[in-house]
Chain A
Amino acid sequence: MTDFPQETSPRTTPHSSRDYPLPVGLSDVTSDINGGPESLSFAGESDPLRQPREIIPRVDNPCVAEQLERLLSIIGQMIQLVKQERETRERKRREVNDMPPLPPLPPLHAYCDEDGSVLMEWLFPDLRVGFNIEPNSEDSGWHVVSNKKAREFTASGQLTNPRELIAHLLASIMANI
């Protein structure tokens, strides 16, 4: 069971990640109300972190910029690790059957909010992942929501251990695209 660090939803709430782990093994990734996976930017983007990296120089608050840079670095490292694992898995799958390669990760979108924070949104066919980077790092956080094809869960928490969080998120996401 996937168990997020710093998860803040009450344990009694059915919509917490403790009750609804990220759906590893989900095979149907077609989306209903938000369009199919082809409407996401799966193709033509070799670096999913390009756009957030580009806004770092435009972030006024140095503490926010530093956190953003660090978080992007962690996400980048984790993506590399997961990619290696995925490539191994793809090779095995192709040996068994001539399956098409898995699509690349969609781009992460980042923008500066009016209050000096930076918001990042990462859209997958049935999931949305978000990060809010705040001037006070203790206020920075993350959230995940999914639609009914991915069990309709919601989860959020403080961004106090991003490495562990990103590892959990990416492993689950990659298993489902």
Chain B
Amino acid sequence: MEYPDRCIRGIPRFDCLLEGGPHPSLRLYEFHRPSQERKEWHEESINWMADEDAIAFTLKQTNEDGSLQFKVGIAILAHIELNKLKKHHEDLFDYERRPMEGNKYHGNLLLRDGLRKERKNMIRSALAIMSEVILRENIQEKK
């Protein structure tokens, strides 16, 4: 499957950043939700940057109550970095494109179930170190 060069992880809360600064905490990549398609994996939603509208689309995504889903901003991850992580930890980490109704950009980062926590945290931390955080206020400033 072909992948865009980058993907976006929305940042819903300030505690996903360390002390609210530009560095993600492990909370940005929690992997709480079991994968709907793949047994023994958990998933974390992302949007693939398939076109130039993907960032604006992500920033406009809302919760069921109509509030903005990603109030804080976004983190950008390069596909090449995700691919390297996957190659080195094929048994632990994967990713996918999974378009859904109303979101053609949608995909998932995937983390294997049943790992010791430090192994999970190692993958979460690897995702954090490759993340480029862009705060919503800075995106708006650029417009």
Contact = CB atoms under 8 A, between A and B. Distances in A.
Q: How large is the interface on A (under 10, 10 to 19, 20 to 34, 35 or more residues)?
A: 20 to 34
Interface stretch (B40-48, B59-67, B103-111, B122-130): B122-130
Given A132-B121, A134-B117, A143-B122, 11 more contacts: A13-B89, A14-B88, A34-B131, A117-B117, A121-B125, A141-B118, A141-B121, A145-B125, A154-B122, A156-B118, A157-B118
Interface of B: 15, 18-19, 21-23, 25-26, 84, 88-89, 116-119, 121-123, 125-126, 128-133
B56 to A, nearest CB: 21
A109 B17 CA distance: 11
Contacts of B23: 34-35, 39-40, 123
Interface of B is mostly: helix
A119 B26 contact: yes
A89 interface: no
Contacts of B116: 8, 139, 141, 156, 158
Contacts, number: 86
Nearest to B78: A33
B130 A33 contact: yes
Q: What 4 pairs between A and B have smallest CB-CB spacing?
A: A141-B118, A15-B88, A143-B122, A156-B122
Interface string A20-58: 000000000000011100011000000000000000000
Contacts of A119: 26, 121
B76 to A, nearest CB: 8
Nearest to A153: B88
Contacts of A33: 130-132
| Residue of B19, B126, B128, B133 with most partner-chain A CB within 10 A | B126
A34 B126 CA distance: 12
Contacts of A40: 23
Interface of A: 8, 13-15, 33-35, 39-40, 109, 111, 117, 119, 121, 123, 128, 130, 132, 134, 139, 141-147, 152, 154-159
Contact of B118 (A13, A14, A158): A158
Given A8-B118, A134-B117, A145 B18 contact: no
B125 A132 contact: no
A132 B122 CA distance: 11
A159 B128 CA distance: 22
Contacts of A146: 129
A14 B89 CA distance: 9
Contacts of A158: 116, 118
Which of B19, B116, B129, B131 neighbours the largest number of chain A CB atoms within 10 Å of its CB?
B129
Contact of B89 (A34, A128, A154, A159): A154
Contacts of A15: 88-89
A142 B19 CA distance: 21
A98 B139 CA distance: 41
